């Protein structure tokens, strides 16, 4: 059972380039999340999805777009990368029983924008 898988694990982008981070989960979870983690800032929620075909903004959505075309996949896109988007990105998924319970995390994607 793979759990939550993120690809790629590392990436270096030039300012202005675009890329898509892929998150895949095999636990049939309804809810999926994208977070970024910066030193001293903890995890900040970028976007989240409560089901296939739905997405919503989190705390820091600017500069990012997401899509949830299939229940098992949640894509995070950067249309025009900026150095401020250098961070470690984590995807997570969670079952939902009227409230958010345990979230399962991927191993992270370390993105550097130069």
CB of 62 to another protein, least distance (A): 15
Backbone angles phi, psi at 16, to 5 degrees: 95, -15
Round to whole Å and give the CA distance between 17 and 3.
30
Which residue lies nearer to another protein by CB, 22 or 50? 50
**Contact status, residue 87 vs residue 17, Cβ threshold 8 Å:** no
Q: Is 84 helix (H, G, I), strand (E, B) or coil?
A: helix
Which residue lies nearer to another protein by CB, 57 or 70? 57
Which residue lies nearer to another protein by CB, 35 or 74? 35
Residues found near another protein in the complex (CB under 8 A): 4, 31, 33, 35, 40-45, 48, 50, 56, 58-59, 90, 92, 94, 98-108
């Amino acid at each position: 059972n793979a759990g939550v898988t993120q690809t790629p694990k590392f990436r270096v982008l030039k300012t202005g380039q675009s890329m898509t981070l892929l998150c895949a989960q095999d636990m049939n979870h309804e809810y999926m999340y994208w977070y970024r983690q910066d030193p001293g800032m903890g995890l900040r929620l970028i976007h989240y999805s409560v089901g296939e075909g739905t997405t919503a903004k989190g705390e820091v959505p600017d500069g990012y777009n997401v899509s949830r075309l299939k229940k098992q996949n949640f894509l995070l896109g950067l249309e025009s990368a900026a150095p401020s988007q250098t961070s470690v990105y984590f995807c997570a998924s969670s079952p939902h029983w009227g409230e958010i319970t345990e979230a399962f995390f991927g191993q992270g994607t370390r993105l550097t924008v130069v």
